[in-house]
Structure 1
Amino acid sequence: MFSSFFRRVDPFAVLAVTVPLAIYLLTLAPSVTFFDSGEFITAIHSLGTAHSPGYPFFVNYAKPFTWLPFGNIAFRVNIATAVSAAAACYGAYLLVLVMLPGGDADGAAMPRYVARGCALAAALAFAFSARLWLQSNHDKPYPLVSFIVAVVFWALLRFRTRYDEGEECPHYVYLGAFLCGLATGAHQTIILMLPSFAWLIISKDWRLLGRVKEFLIAVAFGLLGFAIQLHMPVRALKNPLLNWGDPRTLDQFLWNLLRKGYPSDPPVRDLTLLWQQLCAFNVPSEFTWVGIGLLVLGLVVSCRRRRDEVIAYFLGIGTSLVVIVGHFNAQADLIFLTEEFFTPLYLLSAVFIGVGLFWLLRRAVDSIQVEKLTSVPIKVLVLVFTLMLPGTICALNYYENDQHDNYVAFDYATNTFRSLPHNTALFTWGDSGAFPLWYLQGVERMREDLDLLHTPHLVFRWYLDAFPHLFGQSMLRAVPEDAQSAESALKMAVAEQIGRRPVFIDFSTRYSLPFAEYGMQQRGIAYRLIQGGKDTVYPPDLSVWGLYSSRGYTSQMGFRDLDTGKAILIYAMARLEGGEILLRTGYRSPGVEELRLAAAIAPELRGQVEQMLGAYGVR
């Protein structure tokens, strides 16, 4: 029985999953990272609601991985993302086989291993692309969306094939509709693929538009999948650890689902910005120029038998660019966030790359006899050739995507905690400065004596409700949400807390808002506000630096995203600021040492350090 089972197993399909998964696990982040990581993990751990639009399907998908018996919770959630990314790679493998003429190969004359080798090459090229790899080794919902896109695309291709054979199978369409509804709980960008999916259905037979009954059933299945959104109000009634927007009421649910908490008035775009936004979809960067050549070849040769699939691919690109570029209109410093939305399109690009590679190989071996194609040397030669592109992409991206020693966010959060005395109220500003703290306190149960207050949320009533012991009788409640700014809310909250307990702000808050009415003492990368001390210069407390873990900013790892680089620079800038204060107050020797350490952490500050030393007469 077992031998019969193993004979039916496709080893290429197994490799399409296991090879990416193995590489992802080797390069997996060991703990929390920056951006949305700490917030996602906290929501997953507590089955709560993340930032708009809530991500209920991603939360429920990753939750079972938190029960793994090894690693911390963040590491387990990162494994969940790696698994979903490996599954998406299998989706690319499966689609290549479906797209090739005759299913597995072009007639009986071509050995099956050639088609499967090309499908494996496409899957691995997608696996090692910079975008998917970056999303696979820490918690991200986009690989899960990509996997669903692949399954829906496959289901609709099956629907078209069966329709050509004279057999109507609407259950494939119903499956696709259900998965699209479900995928809105992973990320709403699944909506951008709906025109492509609709085209695959109606282009087969325009008379299908008159099938009202089947259309209503498909809508019902879509709504059934969309019902995953009910997770948010149901769980909000249980007051989970992370309950973004508190969506227990219809108004708050729609506020979260429709992303009403984000700015709605985008600034004006110029041609330079438009070009930068369009370049967020960058196929050469993901697959190299050789991959571009194979993609173009695959699209051209597919136009004869798979014209509607090619049109569906371009519809997906066009819709995504119109909505992401035209509607979102991200500014230059935020364009990198929109790059993640194109991951499903990179999956489809990899599929056509596999088709182009197959056509190229077929032309190359036309003159070789079929018997020779089945010999071991020829098999090895063909497979080596097919794997050259993914091998090259892997080599190009491995160093920069290797996060196995990325403790920067973890150490940044723990070092912040080590800066704070007991019962402190810490006000944060940026997401990356706040979310790792949320994870460590809420999930890992560190420093539960602290109140971590995120300044941008102080304007929301739902956020104030989460801290009844602080804001139950706060004056912040008397100010309407639409009339309150984050800056004024912060000043009001600080004024209410500073007479009762230690009040600290993080580095981002320190340089986002002036605090002229308070004295300020630096403690590492945190700052204590001192009531009534505005005219006093307080030397920095250097003792906390000895408590810090330095691996977060002295590691030689290749991975550097935007906020990882910022965190390392914050350590250096804090040393720089402390050194300047020490020199100004007459503490020459420790001041020089602080400046030297600043230059050691961030060599780009060396010129500024030398200029500062020169201003104080130090060579």
Structure 2
Amino acid sequence: MRCSSSPSVARDSNSSPFVLASWDKWIAGILAGGSAALYIRTCAPSLLFGDSGEFQFVPYILGIAHPTGYPLYVMLGWLWSHLLPLGNVAYRMNVFSSFWAALTVGTIFLLMRSLMTRIVGGSDLAPARMAAGIASATFAVSQTFWGQAVIAEVYTLHAFFVVLVLLLFLRWTQSPLQRARIVAFAFTFGLALAHHRTILALLPGMFVCFLLLRPVGDRGVSVALPRARVVWREGMVGITCLLAPLLLYLYLPLRAPYVPYTTISLSREQQLVLYKNTAQGLLDHITGAIFAENLRLGLDLWGTMPSWTTHLAVVVELLRGQFGLVGICLAFVGLARMVWARQWPWLSLTALSYITGVLFNLLYAIGDVEVLYIPSYLLVTIWIGFGLVTLSETVTRVSRHRVGYSVFLFGVALPVWLFVQHLPQVDRSSDVAAEAMWRPILERPIPSGAVLVSNDRDEMMPLWYYQYVEGRRQDLLGLFPRIVAEPEYRDIGGVLDQAIASGRPVFLIKPMPGLEVKVQLQPREALAPTIQVVGLAAARSPMHRMDAQLDGYVRLIGYEVMPTVVRAGDTLTLHLYWEPLQPLPHNYTSYVHVVDEQGNRIAQSDHRPGGVYYPTSLWKQGEHLLDTHTIMLPSTGHAAVYQIWAGMYLYPTIQPLGAAVRIGSVTVMD
């Protein structure tokens, strides 16, 4: 093994084109094939919840996916799901992700081989090949990427484009005015942009890298400065090739009239427009305008420093979950190698792309943001490869023997260890939860035209799959919060209001404890696990009216005590009728206290009205809600008339919301 990492040698390596040898092709193919076998073995066998459930039916029917639309994924998925005679449609789309993931792993190997030729150089190719192979295998079994490779999702295709764009960029930098390379690089970048816009995170790194590769005295590579006319001509070719794939977004308005769910008719007056087929609607969809509120822009950096440090700690923890501490240490060694060898172009390409991607993710507050870190993990994988080569060269230099290869034996242990660690977490081969939930529901004699309601969009996607792919129970209508942007559908309470107003039969698809504060529920064994909604809980007037405000936020408009005459040890039921006067800032706890003549509390009930599904922070101004408390009176009490007090407080501080309200009394008899 020969060490060829001196700065003078590595700095000029970009002038020598990387030639793909037969061994490289074979190794890339083996890595891709092995990864495919692994992903298919651990792939989900059928229907899934969430975005995966959506991506299992949208491509098959050439539908419209949630913003930003993903037209390229949809059209490729249509071909795949119709041409692949394997399992059901849901499984085919899961394997679709496995296919792109496997191609990504093989292409990573080629990308690292190309970079190592420029940075490491040397005539002994075995160390570079071994390092690239081990690093590629490490990425293949990284937790998040592997987890996305076994479900229907867009991120493995995005990862493939990230690797391919970087590989074509390297080829283009060697001959910037060669038209074939311009077209390949620009067109691929345009396709990637038509798929997922976070590909833009590569631009700063590629731009700085290209500038550093241009001649600066005697430090740069020999790329001749072209004439202005040639630059203009080839630049226009590149721009045209870059923009042409964006025409794929025209798929959305052209296909929209034929997609069955772009407009959902809840009633004649209630039309839910999921995709507005207008110029503004198209722009909002492809730019993801609905997610703009998730961007944490305009933050005071120093004022929010504790928050930033917390987020950065999460980034480090996520990275450790992918590669472990050993992988992170190898990545730092690879970075140090680039700095020591003064490989500023390639350092800027990888480091700036990493920083840009991570910074965007830190500013983008969505629930599944961890999947957006996959491109950054890919760049860390490159550093791991260089770390392995560097350690091997260092051992060889110190020992003066070819024992440097022993480093790669140590390196092989990394993907093996990650495989063992991550397999139980990502294996979806026995995941049938979505089928187990929805098959019993669809087998029940639910009335025709009924509305099925969930608090979670993810749970509703399997229903749409069964309806649009298998044609089952197309008369049913699934609703969930934020199905459209209108404020009436912002939460489960608003969805239930709209569903009841439609006049259709309404059912919850699962028990949601606490919703009794909002609606009357009637479980029926023949329709289980669904629960019928028969109306609003506070539809009738309370037995005892009153007007008692709690700190101007909510008022108690009435109550009921049943029974009013009891014996010691009996159970007391109390109904509190609340009306919010303005949005409540917190999830409050309501209470009912039974006190004796001396003011001593003898019994009480405290709970959070609405539970987790409709807590007080979701209550709307002017609506009426029914809060039911059940109190067991002590068996040792004596005959007397006891006073009943009610109110709210914030748990766990026990800070009261206004003063307690006396709501009546109960007589305890001997």
Mapped partners of 2:68, 2:93: distance in 1: 19
Mapped partners of 2:459, 2:414: distance in 1: 39
Does 2:300 correspond to 1:274? Answer: no
Does 2:246 correspond to 1:226? Answer: yes
Which residue among 61, 73, 80 is the counterpart of 2:96? 80
Do 1:195 and 1:316's aligned partners in 2 also have CA atoms closer than 8 Å?
yes
Does 2:480 correspond to 1:454? Answer: yes
User: 1:483 and 1:438, CA in 2 relative to 1: closer, same or farther beyond 3 A?
Assistant: closer
User: 1:488 and 1:161, CA in 2 relative to 1: closer, same or farther beyond 3 A?
Assistant: same
Report the equivalent of 1:246: 275
Which residue among 305, 317, 336 is the counterpart of 1:300? 336
Per mean C-alpha deviation after superposition, the further-off stretch among 526-535 and 252-261 is 526-535
Report the equivalent of 2:17: none
User: 1:70 and 1:25, CA in 2 relative to 1: closer, same or farther beyond 3 A?
Assistant: same
TM-score by length of 2: 0.66
Shift of residue 409, structure 1, vs aligned partner: 2.0
Report the equivalent of 2:165: 152
CA RMSD of aligned residues (A): 3.6
User: 1:434 and 1:298, CA in 2 relative to 1: closer, same or farther beyond 3 A?
Assistant: same
Do 2:520 and 2:537's aligned partners in 1 also have CA atoms closer than 8 Å?
yes
Per mean C-alpha deviation after superposition, the further-off stretch among 313-322 and 34-43 is 313-322
What amino acid does structure 2 have at the position aligned with 1:161?
Answer: Q
Does 2:196 correspond to 1:190? Answer: no
Mapped partners of 2:331, 2:518: distance in 1: 59
Mapped partners of 2:153, 2:227: distance in 1: 37
Per mean C-alpha deviation after superposition, the further-off stretch among 123-132 and 11-20 is 11-20
Report the equivalent of 1:93: 109
Report the equivalent of 1:610: none
Does 2:529 correspond to 1:493? Answer: no
Does 2:287 correspond to 1:258? Answer: yes
Is the partner of 1:53 in helix, strand or coil? coil
Do 1:129 and 1:287's aligned partners in 2 also have CA atoms closer than 8 Å?
yes
Mapped partners of 1:209, 1:413: distance in 2: 65
User: 1:512 and 1:155, CA in 2 relative to 1: closer, same or farther beyond 3 A?
Assistant: farther
Which residue among 66, 73, 91 is the counterpart of 1:58? 73
Which residue among 529, 536, 549 is the counterpart of 2:533? 529
User: 1:99 and 1:23, CA in 2 relative to 1: closer, same or farther beyond 3 A?
Assistant: same
Do 1:12 and 1:117's aligned partners in 2 also have CA atoms closer than 8 Å?
no
Do 1:58 and 1:141's aligned partners in 2 also have CA atoms closer than 8 Å?
yes
Deviations 1:306-355 (A, max 9, x none): 321111222112222332223x244xxx2xx1111111121121112112
Deviations 1:186-208 (A, max 9, x none): 22211222212222323322778
Gaps of 5+ in 2: 1-20, 216-224, 264-272, 541-611, 614-627, 632-670
Mapped partners of 1:209, 1:152: distance in 2: 26
Report the equivalent of 2:356: 319
Report the equivalent of 2:581: none
Report the equivalent of 1:421: 446
Report the equivalent of 2:136: 123
Mapped partners of 1:506, 1:527: distance in 2: 7
User: 1:265 and 1:318, CA in 2 relative to 1: closer, same or farther beyond 3 A?
Assistant: closer
What amino acid does structure 2 have at the position aligned with 1:252?
Answer: G
Mapped partners of 1:93, 1:444: distance in 2: 40
Shift of residue 256, structure 1, vs aligned partner: 0.9
What amino acid does structure 1 have at the position aligned with 2:369?
Answer: T
Do 1:422 and 1:449's aligned partners in 2 also have CA atoms closer than 8 Å?
no
Deviations 1:46-103 (A, max 9, x none): 1111111111111122222212112111110111100111111112101111111468
Do 1:37 and 1:436's aligned partners in 2 also have CA atoms closer than 8 Å?
no
Per mean C-alpha deviation after superposition, the further-off stretch among 243-252 and 145-154 is 243-252
What amino acid does structure 2 have at the position aligned with 1:445?
Answer: G
Which residue among 390, 398, 404 is the counterpart of 2:429? 404
What is the number of residues matched between the two proteins?
495
More helix by share: 1
Mapped partners of 2:227, 2:22: distance in 1: 43
Gaps of 5+ in 1: 1-5, 461-480, 537-568, 571-580, 585-619
Shift of residue 419, structure 1, vs aligned partner: 5.1
Correspondence 1:328-343 to 2 at 5 A: 328-330=364-366, 334=367, 337-343=368-374
Mapped partners of 1:357, 1:394: distance in 2: 19
Is the partner of 1:264 in helix, strand or coil? helix
User: 1:414 and 1:263, CA in 2 relative to 1: closer, same or farther beyond 3 A?
Assistant: farther
Shift of residue 421, structure 1, vs aligned partner: 1.7
Do 1:142 and 1:186's aligned partners in 2 also have CA atoms closer than 8 Å?
no
Report the equivalent of 1:467: none
Do 2:508 and 2:530's aligned partners in 1 also have CA atoms closer than 8 Å?
yes
Does 2:44 correspond to 1:13? Answer: no
Shift of residue 239, structure 1, vs aligned partner: 2.6
Which residue among 510, 520, 523 is the counterpart of 2:522? 520
Report the equivalent of 1:434: 460
Mapped partners of 1:534, 1:420: distance in 2: 28
Shift of residue 214, structure 1, vs aligned partner: 3.5
Correspondence 1:531-550 to 2 at 5 A: 531=535
Deviations 1:255-292 (A, max 9, x none): 21122234627688955543343324632221111111
Report the equivalent of 2:383: 352
Mapped partners of 1:50, 1:426: distance in 2: 21
What amino acid does structure 2 have at the position aligned with 1:176?
Answer: F
User: 1:49 and 1:313, CA in 2 relative to 1: closer, same or farther beyond 3 A?
Assistant: same
Mapped partners of 2:533, 2:487: distance in 1: 28
Mapped partners of 1:146, 1:248: distance in 2: 30
Mapped partners of 1:403, 1:230: distance in 2: 35
Report the equivalent of 1:574: none
Do 1:291 and 1:353's aligned partners in 2 also have CA atoms closer than 8 Å?
yes
Is the partner of 1:117 in helix, strand or coil? helix
Is the partner of 2:50 in helix, strand or coil? coil
Mapped partners of 1:56, 1:106: distance in 2: 41
Is the partner of 2:258 in helix, strand or coil? coil
Mapped partners of 2:537, 2:128: distance in 1: 74
Do 1:118 and 1:357's aligned partners in 2 also have CA atoms closer than 8 Å?
yes
- Greater relative contact order structure (CA < 8 Å, 6+ sep): 1
Shift of residue 484, structure 1, vs aligned partner: 7.0
Mapped partners of 2:514, 2:239: distance in 1: 47
Mapped partners of 2:349, 2:384: distance in 1: 16
Shift of residue 130, structure 1, vs aligned partner: 0.5
Shift of residue 128, structure 1, vs aligned partner: 0.3
Per mean C-alpha deviation after superposition, the further-off stretch among 152-161 and 403-412 is 152-161
Is the partner of 1:518 in helix, strand or coil? strand
What amino acid does structure 1 have at the position aligned with 2:500?
Answer: A
Structure of greater Rg: 2
Deviations 1:177-233 (A, max 9, x none): 222221233222112222122223233227789744433332221111212211111
What amino acid does structure 2 have at the position aligned with 1:404?
Answer: S
User: 1:368 and 1:314, CA in 2 relative to 1: closer, same or farther beyond 3 A?
Assistant: closer
Do 2:519 and 2:534's aligned partners in 1 also have CA atoms closer than 8 Å?
no
Q: Percent of aligned positions with the same letter in both sequences?
A: 23
Is the partner of 1:203 in helix, strand or coil? helix
User: 1:359 and 1:249, CA in 2 relative to 1: closer, same or farther beyond 3 A?
Assistant: same
User: 1:172 and 1:532, CA in 2 relative to 1: closer, same or farther beyond 3 A?
Assistant: closer
Shift of residue 494, structure 1, vs aligned partner: 2.5
Report the equivalent of 1:169: 178
Mapped partners of 1:45, 1:276: distance in 2: 41
User: 1:213 and 1:10, CA in 2 relative to 1: closer, same or farther beyond 3 A?
Assistant: closer
Is the partner of 1:184 in helix, strand or coil? helix
Mapped partners of 1:532, 1:497: distance in 2: 13
Mapped partners of 1:240, 1:169: distance in 2: 46
Do 2:148 and 2:155's aligned partners in 1 also have CA atoms closer than 8 Å?
yes
More strand by share: 2
Which residue among 506, 509, 512 is the counterpart of 1:506? 509
Do 1:156 and 1:200's aligned partners in 2 also have CA atoms closer than 8 Å?
no
Is the partner of 2:453 in helix, strand or coil? strand
Do 1:53 and 1:256's aligned partners in 2 also have CA atoms closer than 8 Å?
yes
